[in-house]
Amino acid sequence: VQVTEVHLPSSTQELSAEPLSEGPVEVRIGSQGEILRILNRDHSAFGDGNHATTRLSLRGMEMEASRRKLGLVLDFGTGTGILALAALELGAEAVVAVDNCPVARSVASENAQLNGWSDSGQLSIQPQLLPKDVSFDTVVCNMPSKWLLNSLDDLINARSSGDGRLLLAGFPATEEEFLVSEIRARSSHLFHV
């Protein structure tokens, strides 16, 4: 098994998240500075663009999109839907956004509507993973390591075997080596971490 590790120091990223006077946060992504508007009333779901791991995930997707097409994307633990919507803005063919929290799915749906993606046919917000025979070109997951470890097999299996990418964030740097070793132990395919 070969794993290529990509480290993205937060000091190099150029993303910005700016609170508006009321309502959504504006998040600028991509080389053209596309704007996503993210609502998160009462902080009922994770991911408004202000957290370092969300910005790191966004930057990771920007880097991937600059190198290759994102293709079919899985956003596992979508929260507000910020990563799913960013993937679409960055050219993903389609995105499946999953979250086991009904409130998060509702927030993600509201944000999809706010950003004009709810009727596009390119975004599906679901409570669970797709059947095992569906594979994704890009899998993105920004969640604490405890939850990440519980879902690691599903995340690895969801990724297409050839050139699929697994973009993970949300865990402390002190746990990175352990997570990479877990991925190596559970997968027989070449892929990028």
CA 43 – CA 40 distance, rounded (Å): 5
Mean pLDDT for the stretch of residues 134-154: 85
pLDDT of residue 23: 63
**Edge-to-edge order in the sheet of strand 3-4:** 3-4, 191-192, 165-169, 138-142, 72-76, 94-98, 123-126
The percent of residues in the chain predicted with pLDDT above 90, rounded, is 24
pLDDT of residue 38: 73
pTM over 0.85: no
Which tens digit of pLDDT belongs to each residue from 33-66?
A: 777 777 766 566 777 666 788 888 898 899 999 9
For 112-151, strand residue ranges (E) read 123-126, 138-142
pLDDT of residue 146: 83
Q: Lowest mean pLDDT: which of 23-27, 39-43, 46-50, 101-105? A: 39-43
| pLDDT, averaged across the chain | 77
